[in-house]
């Protein structure tokens, strides 16, 4: 398949998928909001979505971009990344025009509906936090989440919810753990577990900050989470790459949500040999491969958000540990993603600390035009 027709990628940011696809030998056509340097290097062709990032993927802009790419390079099909969780109607229209490699609109709508997901988990014996659709009278122990939201920026304390389109989930004690897995509609292969953290902003207290793998988990808890993912995958008929977000508290855990598409931890789980994109396509076709080996591979990735408006991004001599590198001269608004930084280390905690150092370094370069001395991380560029 890698030597045949190109494959479309549509996402808020298509860079990670595009790079993984290129490592797998695929030709890729990307439609996203950024068109950063990395994506243009990995893709055969690219079209940038019209419109504002804050509004998400809009129907006319999406199909103008996909039709333009498809007219120039007839594709085999399409992989959809982030940006469709709350817009299954877009997936439905996409599936009428191209072969969809991933979960269909009905499955995405079901697992992103808190009531439907609660029923699935009840039948599969997977614990979930209490939820409700109306604001609780006592809000102290509750969070408001946008239906179909992703990335954490949509999550607020329940007392701050002022608009519709949200549901309320009880806060549970513990640490956030995410499982990346492949599914074939019946079973699943867990690729690994990552620990995640928030990078709060004034109006986004639960904004996604980054992730590190492997997460530190007792073997029996990891086994319990793996078994839960297997049951969930079959019950929801998931296919391809997905992630499951849990909260783990000592001997207990709860499933918070499912991300029914390739997720934010793609980079840190990309194997040294092979391609997660290729494994995604295989799983969508019903071929569930064994998990790649990650022995000794400790990696972390963090999002760098602009802390103030950058009217014209400066030219930088980018280090190997940065990705999603903006084009020189683009405007970036305060709070928007600027790039991603990576680090390795003796353990996940040290790797995370190093990403924080690098995040601050990039912000200094971006705002002061000071490129500094680029430190190095042993291993490949993906580390």
Q: Which residue has the higher pLDDT, 378 or 161?
A: 161
pLDDT of residue 295: 66
| Shared-domain flag, residues 325 and 264 | no
Looking up tokens 């999002």, which residue turns up?
A: 303
Q: What total of structural domains would you count in the chain?
A: 3
Looking at the domain assignment, is residue 1 inside a domain? no
State whether 144 and 246 are in the same domain.
yes
pLDDT band of 376, cuts 50, 70, 90: very low
Which range of residues forms the domain containing residue 322?
299-368
Q: Are residues 226 and 120 in the same domain?
A: yes
Whether 229 is in a domain gets the answer yes
Long-range contacts of 28-34 (CB under 8 A, 24+ apart): 29/69, 29/70, 29/73, 29/75, 30/69, 31/62, 31/65, 31/66, 31/69, 34/324, 34/326, 34/337
Q: Is residue 38 part of a domain?
A: yes
For the chain, how far is it from start to end, CA to CA, in angstroms?
Answer: 28
Same domain, 133 and 26: no
Q: At 43, which CATH number?
A: 3.40.50.20
Query: What's the chain's average pLDDT?
Result: 92
- Regarding whether 136 and 226 lie in a shared domain, the answer is yes
Distance CA 222, CA 214 (A): 11
Q: What is the CATH number of the domain that holds 150?
A: 3.30.470.20
Residues 159 and 276 grouped into a single domain: yes
pLDDT at position 165 is 83
Name the least confident of 29-43, 181-195, 214-228, 367-381. Answer: 367-381
| pLDDT over 60 at 380, yes or no | no
pLDDT confidence band for 372 (50 / 70 / 90):
very low
373 occurs within a structural domain: no
Q: Does residue 259 sit in the same domain as residue 128?
A: yes
CA 1 to chain centre: 25
Looking at the fold, whether 235 and 125 belong to one and the same domain comes out as yes
Q: 45, 76, 101: which is the final residue of a domain?
A: 101
178-212 burial, b if ≥16 CB within 10 A, otherwise e?
bbbbbbbbeebbbbbbbbbbbbeeeebebbbbbbb
- pLDDT tens track for 110-164: 999 999 999 999 999 999 999 999 999 899 999 999 888 777 888 999 888 777 7
User: Does the structure show a pLDDT above 60 at 98?
Assistant: yes
pLDDT digits (tens, 9 = 90+) for 33-45: 999 999 999 999 9
CA–CA dist 233, 123 (Å, integer)? 12
Domain end position, chosen among 284, 308, 335: 284
Answer yes or no: do 140 and 276 share one domain. Answer: yes
Instruction: For residues 239-245, give the mean pLDDT.
Output: 98
**Residue 380 lies inside a defined structural domain of this protein:** no
Q: Supply 175's token pair.
A: 């640490």
pLDDT of residue 363: 95
CB 225 within 8 A of CB 253: yes
| pTM metric for this prediction | 0.92
Give me 118's structure tokens: 């609660």
Q: What is the mean pLDDT of residues 244-257?
A: 97
Is 327 domain-assigned? Answer: yes
Q: How far apart are CA 189 and CA 182, in angstroms?
A: 5
> Using 50, 70 and 90 to split pLDDT, how confident is the model at 183?
very high
Per-residue confidence (pLDDT) for residue 3, from 0 to 100? 57
Residue 291 lies in a domain: no
Q: Can you give the pLDDT at residue 358?
A: 98
Domain stops at, among 101, 127, 159: 101
> Region 13-19: what's the mean pLDDT?
97
User: What pLDDT does residue 375 have?
Assistant: 44
| Together in a domain, 280 and 145 | yes
User: Do 52 and 162 share a domain, yes or no?
Assistant: no
Q: Does a structural domain hold residue 76?
A: yes
- Rounded to whole angstroms, the Cα distance separating 18 from 7 reads 10
- pLDDT tens figures, 209-240: 999 999 999 999 999 999 999 999 999 999 99
pLDDT tens string 309-348: 999 999 999 999 999 999 999 999 999 999 999 999 999 9
> Of 226, 297, 291, whose CA–CA distance to 268 is shortest?
297
337 Cβ contact partners less than 8 Å away, ≥ 6 residues apart: 13, 34, 303, 304, 305, 306, 324
Instruction: Name the pLDDT band for 79 (thresholds 50, 70, 90).
Output: very high
**Same domain, residue pair 141 and 249:** yes
């Amino acid at each position: 398949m890698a030597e045949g027709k190109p494959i479309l990628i549509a996402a808020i940011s298509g860079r990670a998928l595009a790079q993984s696809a290129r490592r797998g030998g695929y030709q890729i056509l990307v439609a996203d909001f950024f068109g950063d340097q990395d994506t243009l290097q990995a893709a055969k062709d690219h079209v940038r979505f019209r419109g504002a990032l804050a509004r998400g993927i809009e129907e006319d802009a999406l199909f103008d971009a996909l039709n333009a790419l498809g007219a120039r390079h007839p594709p085999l099909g399409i992989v959809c990344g982030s940006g469709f969780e709350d817009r299954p109607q877009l997936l439905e229209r996409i599936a009428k025009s191209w072969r969809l490699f991933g979960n269909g609109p009905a499955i995405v709508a079901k697992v992103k509906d808190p009531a439907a997901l609660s029923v699935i988990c009840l039948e599969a014996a997977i614990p979930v936090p209490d939820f409700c659709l109306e604001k609780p009278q006592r809000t102290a122990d509750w969070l408001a989440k946008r239906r179909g939201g992703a990335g954490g920026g949509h999550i607020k304390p329940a007392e701050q919810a002022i608009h519709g389109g949200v549901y309320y989930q009880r806060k549970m004690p513990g640490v956030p753990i995410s499982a990346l897995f492949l599914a074939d509609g019946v079973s699943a292969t867990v690729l690994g577990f990552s620990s995640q953290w928030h990078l709060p902003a004034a109006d986004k207290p639960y904004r996604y900050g980054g992730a590190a793998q492997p997460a530190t988990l007792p073997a029996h808890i990891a086994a319990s989470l793996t078994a839960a993912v297997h049951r969930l995958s079959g019950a929801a008929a998931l296919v391809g790459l997905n992630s499951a977000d849990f909260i783990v508290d000592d001997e207990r855990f709860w499933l918070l949500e499912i991300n029914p598409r390739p997720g934010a931890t793609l980079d840190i789980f990309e194997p040294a040999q092979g391609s997660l994109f290729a494994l995604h396509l295989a799983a969508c076709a019903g071929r569930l491969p064994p998990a790649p080996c990650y022995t000794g591979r400790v990696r972390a990735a963090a999002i760098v958000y602009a802390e103030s408006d950058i009217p014209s991004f400066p030219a930088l001599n980018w280090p190997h540990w940065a990705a999603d590198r903006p084009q020189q001269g683009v405007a970036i608004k305060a709070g928007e993603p600027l790039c991603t930084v990576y680090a390795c280390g003796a353990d996940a905690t040290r790797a995370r600390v190093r990403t924080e150092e690098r995040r601050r370094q990039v912000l200094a370069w971006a705002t002061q035009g000071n490129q500094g001395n680029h430190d190095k991380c042993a291993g490949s560029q993906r580390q």
